[in-house]
Amino acid sequence: MVSYTISPCAITDAADISRNNISAFWEDPSWILSWNHTTLDQHIAQVVKRIPRNLLNNRATTRHQKAVDPETGRLLGYARWIIPPSYSVLADGQPAWPEAMGPTVTPEEEAEIRRVAATAIWSPNTEANELEVPVNKIKDELLEKKPYLRTSILWSCELRDTYD
């Protein structure tokens, strides 16, 4: 029986989330086309700079969770959920699903997190995958039709055979 716990994400999870996500995306032949000018390790190093900011962005509608091995403490997976704005606040005005909201930090910490994120090299080669633009256009058109709970759920590549 596979055992894992689901918990909120912390700023200190950046390296683990980056390793998890980019390693998983690196297995997708169409996604890798946009990053054929870098290596997996180089890309992970840049994304580590961005993850803390991503955990802070759009707190009203974005939620983050991680799956962790309770025996080792190792991050096994990460999920980012985007709640439609019309569902992000409860009737009493409180945010929906507050336990999965991104972490809170001081204004000084947030400024430093945003400064570091701005130093990350983020340069996808959007011309490498000729389907990326039309597919994203179709996706956006579909998502505009009604509110959807959107997510990206990623399990660590090394553990995919064990946890799928």
Q: How many CA atoms lie within 13 A of 140 on its CB side?
A: 6
Distances (CA, A) of 137 to 2, 81, 85, 134: 38, 21, 21, 5
Comparison of pLDDT for 149 and 5, the residue scoring more: 5
Per-residue pLDDT reduced to its tens digit, 71-128: 999 999 999 999 999 999 999 999 999 999 999 999 999 999 999 999 999 988 877 6
With a pLDDT cut of 90, the percent of the chain lying above it is 58
DSSP secondary structure of 72-120:
T--EEEEEEEE--GGGSB-TTSPBSSGGGBPPP--HHHHHHHHHHHHTS
Q: The tokens of 80 are what?
A: 């980012």
Query: Tell me, which fold does domain 5-163 have in CATH?
Result: Aminopeptidase (3.40.630)
Say how many C-beta atoms besides its own lie within 10 A of residue 33's C-beta: 17
Is the pLDDT at 161 greater than 50? The verdict is no
Whole-number mean pLDDT of the chain? Answer: 86
- pLDDT tops 90 at residue 158: no
Domain ranges of the chain: 5-163
pLDDT above 60 for 156 = no
pLDDT at 151 over 90: no
Least confident of 25-39, 80-94, 128-142, 150-164: 150-164
Is residue 164's pLDDT more than 50? no
Could you identify the residue written with the tokens 């990350």?
120
Predicted local distance difference test score (pLDDT) of residue 138: 82
pLDDT for 4 equals 87
Q: How many helices (H) and strands (E) does the chain have?
A: 6, 4
According to the model, what pLDDT value does residue 67 have? 93
The whole-model pTM stands at 0.81
Q: How confident is the model at residue 35 (pLDDT cuts 50, 70, 90)?
A: confident
